[in-house]
Structure 1
């Protein structure tokens, strides 16, 4: 395979906004690729990488300092994510197989997507002159033109940077080493890089590893700083970490985490700590969201006003009131008009349109169909603008589900959760889709995990868990969950409560729910079968639920 084609693919990866890697990981990749292409693959060892890339001294010992192995793991995941997103059509695959650090180059073609890796280029670089070899001579005219066109198109696409409102910038500072040992330094560095990697999966924040230079107006100053320290005991480490609001110097959040320092355990421990930190800070309703939601400006600039629309969406999801949805929809429509490349605003607007479709009573089929069509279009716009935007993927999953494209919906949800397994908002929604599609065991497990990881989350978790217990025939547990839910302004809460309580034999409470529906939602009562069938996929689940509604005294058409 020609050297220049491999180098071009490296450039394509490094120039991509979707290559979610730190500067050190980028140097790592550049180093091993260039060494391999220069015929020095036999020199690519942990020691040489540590010394030449990471600046470690000649006394570096890979047996006691796992930094290269840790960074290689981060790099492999970054490459996997890149090829899952904007690198899906790249002509060349660059991988670093586990067990070593020598890269492998594979040619991707329509007829050989699953072909084994091709051999590396010649071990003797002098076989290729310094002058660029004409691609037609190297690969043959047709293949060369396809490769060149692919690279040119990809580079031109990636040169366009979306114009979006100002989002929270978080500076992750190096963690202080409290012991001054090489092992503690390696663990502190590894923890920082893993936290940067996990935080970067949340696309509604910008993660920084260094503060902008004084006077550099091209880069926004961070509003939040994550700082901490690492200490060692005989066989474990402790990370103490805190998030600081740079506006007033207040500490918004602080916690500590422990992990074992055996080589076999340290990588997993660092990953676990990073997941906990990123979930606490960056998830929906997390620490950063709460801090920004409490900021109120009398005359906000356009970018803050647009960003505030996304915060108001999450406030609306707490109670799902129709009048609030109207104002949020209007705000988000203005936001995408002002910032047409703001992927998150498109995604949340799609979710509002989905709510227009699923929470509309009485049902206007023309309006409902139009809302679903708008939802799917807005979701796909969000994903096109940013393939890694989890809210966009979530909206696409829901729009496909309500469009009765169940398999496609679940595929999107699965892919999105693989992109960011720490996103509890997506986890809960995907779990709900799985459960309602009949995969109750796996779906309910995800809903429960989402609720545990996001204790300040929405009330629909309790409704979902009530349904999980209900379909598991555990009616006392189902009744406990439904009574815990705070979303009693939503008519569907009362529909679920009526079914759960009637099936469990709680007649007085079930009668109360039936009366509420009769008095407040007569249009829903007249269309109960349609409302249930819109949400539950399997006919046996629909009929069982309808039977429970009949036990509650509701008249449901057969």
Structure 2
């Protein structure tokens, strides 16, 4: 009996050493220490001591007053460790006889003899990039400035935590603070942080100067730097709020600095993470570069992600959105497609009732079901979750314009793109329709001209209509030919195509009449 037990222990230790040689763990001392600690404690029959608190103290060097309610660092690192283990057993360790697994909801590992079984794919692995918000340095020695610095960092942590696509570390032990003061890049490596927010504050004659930096902790390069100079500090709460919202809107979300930096500098992170990151990346690529190829690539990747990670709310919401896109952009004419999209979004909300992307997609469902009141309600719920997620917020603003809430939708879109000028290509449709409804045809054409999505009927259609309305007939006829080439059935289907997405009958009629004026005959 003891010989069998000893042999089992030897196998486990051999497997542990094999896993620790995996590149992703070799480059992460803290995750290697995490894995070794929980495996050794389990083999020493101390698994009942493996708790969030003990890991924080013994692995992450947190102080004795560690409180998991205030600091999610253990959960964040456990998510990354699960992801790396899953990646290992899908690649280098796919033929290993033994497998180390950390079940969701606890930190005690399981040791599974694979016997040719497929690697375990957890319902949700935390693939989100991690951002560490290091304390800002006060160049001027004023107690009030130190307090303001602390409040600023705490609010940044709170606001960034609202984004579904990043994980945030904002609280540090005194030992870690000491390491941060010595070398921020080494400190970030110990925390496994992908990005660092840091900065400094200076106060002169009641005027405040603040510099905020976002760094890529792997390359050490500055991704973004923002300066707030000569700020009057009479209303300190207002100053803090304005700074936080300016920073958060620019770096968070799929159109923010962090996601774009990952795509630029770490493409292997996307390709190696198989399902979730591939789905998210292809979603983002389609939103920026509209084509049928990108649409179907994103659809397939998101569908695969939901099959492998059935409890990942965001990918369900994104897949639901792509079902709706198929209808809105005339890619898919199946009458059950809207219901499929609705099924996906309900699955997402069941997993996470506060999933912002799900409320965004539900707004689209309600638009296509021609229920403007429900559309307004879901849009308001979406914005309430995180008003700084400019890409998602601009999307619901566009859908409100299409559902007939012209002024409200326009203001939401306007505010969103002022926070972050990067947005999905189809937001231009919302602006164009708003100005068409206002009879400001030159402005409508300017927004139609911003669309670079010639594979959808919307691009040539709105360019043709707006050019017709401003009397540019020759140019308008060129886009009419492109429209008929892109969608040959436009003459017989145009009203159906438009009324399925635009709920204002007057606006639909105006677009149809503008295209007819230039030579399209619905009877053809």
Which TM-score applies when normalising by structure 1?
A: 0.66
Distance 1:473 1:175 in 2: 50
1:289 alignment partner, SS class: helix
After the TM superposition, list the runs of 4 or more consecutive aligned residues in structure 1 that deviate by more than 4 angstroms: 158-162, 211-214, 295-302
Distance 2:404 2:429 in 1: 16
Aligned counterparts, 1:461-476, within 5 A: 461-476=427-442
**Which of 212, 226, 242 is equivalent to 2:197?**
226
Provide, for residues 413-448 of structure 1, a one-character-per-residue CA deviation record: whole Å limited to 9, x for no partner.
Answer: 111112211111122112112212222122122222
Q: Is residue 451–residue 457 contact of structure 1 (8 Å, CA) maintained in 2?
A: yes
**Which of 226, 246, 253 is equivalent to 2:217?**
246
Q: Is residue 284–residue 424 contact of structure 1 (8 Å, CA) maintained in 2?
A: no
The reply to whether residue 413 of structure 1 matches residue 379 of structure 2 is: yes
With over 3 angstroms needed to count, the CA separation of the structure-2 counterparts of 1:241 and 1:398, relative to structure 1, is: same
Gaps of 5+ in 1: 1-26, 31-52, 54-157
Residue in 1 that maps onto 2:449: 483
Distance 2:345 2:523 in 1: 34
With over 3 angstroms needed to count, the CA separation of the structure-2 counterparts of 1:554 and 1:273, relative to structure 1, is: same
Provide, for residues 304-334 of structure 1, a one-character-per-residue CA deviation record: whole Å limited to 9, x for no partner.
Answer: 6522320221111123211221111111111
Q: Is residue 168–residue 222 contact of structure 1 (8 Å, CA) maintained in 2?
A: yes
With over 3 angstroms needed to count, the CA separation of the structure-2 counterparts of 1:419 and 1:520, relative to structure 1, is: closer
The reply to whether residue 324 of structure 1 matches residue 294 of structure 2 is: yes
Residue in 2 that maps onto 1:205: 166
- How far the C-alpha of 1:535 sits from its partner, in A, is 1.4
**Which of 325, 330, 334 is equivalent to 2:304?**
334
**Which of 321, 324, 344 is equivalent to 1:354?**
324
1:442 alignment partner, SS class: helix
Q: Is residue 292–residue 455 contact of structure 2 (8 Å, CA) maintained in 1?
A: no
The reply to whether residue 540 of structure 1 matches residue 506 of structure 2 is: yes
**Which of 411, 428, 453 is equivalent to 2:394?**
428
Residue in 2 that maps onto 1:89: none
Distance 1:281 1:430 in 2: 20
Gaps of 5+ in 2: 1-65, 71-104, 108-121, 180-189
Residue in 1 that maps onto 2:339: 373
What is the number of residues matched between the two proteins?
399
1:252 alignment partner, SS class: strand
Q: Is residue 391–residue 424 contact of structure 2 (8 Å, CA) maintained in 1?
A: no
With over 3 angstroms needed to count, the CA separation of the structure-2 counterparts of 1:526 and 1:211, relative to structure 1, is: farther
Q: Is residue 191–residue 274 contact of structure 1 (8 Å, CA) maintained in 2?
A: yes
Aligned counterparts, 1:80-479, within 5 A: 163-210=124-171, 221-258=192-229, 259-262=231-234, 265-295=235-265, 303=273, 305-360=275-330, 364=333, 367=334, 369-479=335-445
Distance 1:437 1:313 in 2: 24
Distance 2:477 2:223 in 1: 46
Distance 2:257 2:353 in 1: 25
Range that drifts further, 309-318 or 455-464: 455-464
With over 3 angstroms needed to count, the CA separation of the structure-2 counterparts of 1:451 and 1:490, relative to structure 1, is: farther
1:536 alignment partner, SS class: coil
Which TM-score applies when normalising by structure 2?
A: 0.70
Question: Over the residues paired in the alignment, what is the CA RMSD in angstroms?
Answer: 3.1
Q: Is residue 367–residue 403 contact of structure 2 (8 Å, CA) maintained in 1?
A: no
Range that drifts further, 198-207 or 442-451: 442-451
